[in-house]
Structure 1
Amino acid sequence: MRAITWEVSGSQGFETAWVQLREGTLRARGRAVGTVSEPYWISYELETAEGFVTRRLTVTAETGAGTHALDLLHDGQGRWTADGEPLSDVGGALDCDLGLCPLTNTMPVLRHRLHQAPGEREFLMAWVSVPDLVVRPSRQTYTHLGPGRVRYSSGDFHSDLEFDEEGYVVDYPRLATRLTVR
């Protein structure tokens, strides 16, 4: 298990994730603290099936208004539920994307080796906003730019991300910069 810490400029905070990659799967637990748009604490656990396809994301958020939680589950066939309720608008998505979390960019990049090999892929993501934990559909495109470099695009936003050889974000301009790996 590896510990990775990022300074998250997008939230004016920090995130640490304890991550384990094993034979096409990823398991992680993490904690983040941020001050934008309001002060919050986030705790999460992420589990993927083979091919780095999200199986489950559980998140707890604490703000000044209180604590709330999300249990986001993917059935492996493209169907999602949030706290047991079906989410038809993200049907067909393979991945979750936890807002302001650089770790969740790893799954599609590893699945298609976009940090190592040429290609461009468009994805539908089950995007989870932070700190309110609302799930929304998000169309995202990842484009290989060179070894360890991938352009992320969604709507009018794009950023050229740097990944290490294992597929973890090193630098995500305007969002996060990795501080440690252990």
Structure 2
Amino acid sequence: MYTWQDVNDPGLTNTASISLHDAHLSAHGTQHCDLYRATWELTTSPGWITREVRISVVGDGWQRSLDVRRNEDGTWIDEVSLSGTQPADLAAPGIGADVDLTGAVDVDLGLCPVTNTMPIRRLGLLDGSVARTELLMAWVDMPSLHVIASDQYYASVDSSSVSYASGTRGVDVVLSVDSDGVVVDYPGLARRV
């Protein structure tokens, strides 16, 4: 069981229970703050490749959920549900018609450090010197559950840290991680407590 506190909003907390296996993981958790509470479940296929993520977000008088899956042929599908009076400032949930996820093998759950674990383990970033590697992610905005294609870059630094960047989101940091590849400190986002 892991808990992270957001460094910009101390009221935002992520908790997760992660089961690590030889080449895959399963996890479930929560993300909550004053404005919403989210619950999620994640499963990966062998090779640390996302198979499915289910997310439900509840706010004051509204709820939305997203089930996003990666099929064996590499295509992504989603199912969305909405109830209540939706906040006008939230983007529509799900994968937009113009979003191209061709080549993406991971879901990256916004504001949640858990989903960095899959590329860290798949690329073997803690086991040796891995050069900067470009990946495409299906990035899920929280709490809107809107999905975009996000370019991300990972590289080895040492046995307890990796370089991580995203041009789409303007991030360029060094993540501190434990021996399992789970984030301890994500500068500008969250710290494990």
With the length of structure 1 as denominator, give the TM-score of the two structures: 0.90
2:21 aligned with 1:22, yes or no?
Answer: yes
1:160 is aligned with what amino acid? V
Q: Distance in 1 between matches of 2:152 and 2:46?
A: 21
**1:92 Cα offset (Å):** 1.6
The structure in which a higher percent of residues are strand is: 1
**1:115 Cα offset (Å):** 2.5
- State the Cα deviation string for residues 63-82 of structure 1 (Å, max 9, x = none): 22511000000013221011
- The equivalent of 1:81 in structure 2 is 77
Instruction: List alignment gaps of at least 5 residues for structure 2.
Output: 81-93
| Native 8 Å contact 1:11 1:100 kept in 2 | no
Q: Distance in 1 between matches of 2:46 and 2:105?
A: 11
Instruction: List alignment gaps of at least 5 residues for structure 1.
Output: none
Q: How many residues align?
A: 174
2:145 aligned with 1:133, yes or no?
Answer: yes
Q: Distance in 2 between matches of 1:116 and 1:171?
A: 19
- State the Cα deviation string for residues 74-110 of structure 1 (Å, max 9, x = none): 0132210111887651122000000001000000000
| Native 8 Å contact 1:10 1:100 kept in 2 | no
1:169 maps to which of 179, 183, 190: 183
1:105 is aligned with what amino acid? N
* 1:1-182 alignment, distance < 5 Å: 3-12=1-10, 13-35=12-34, 39-83=35-79, 89-119=100-130, 120-155=132-167, 156-179=170-193
- State the Cα deviation string for residues 142-162 of structure 1 (Å, max 9, x = none): 111111111111113211101
Q: Distance in 2 between matches of 1:11 and 1:23?
A: 35
| Native 8 Å contact 1:115 1:163 kept in 2 | no
Q: Distance in 2 between matches of 1:62 and 1:173?
A: 27
**1:10 Cα offset (Å):** 4.6
| Native 8 Å contact 1:77 1:92 kept in 2 | no
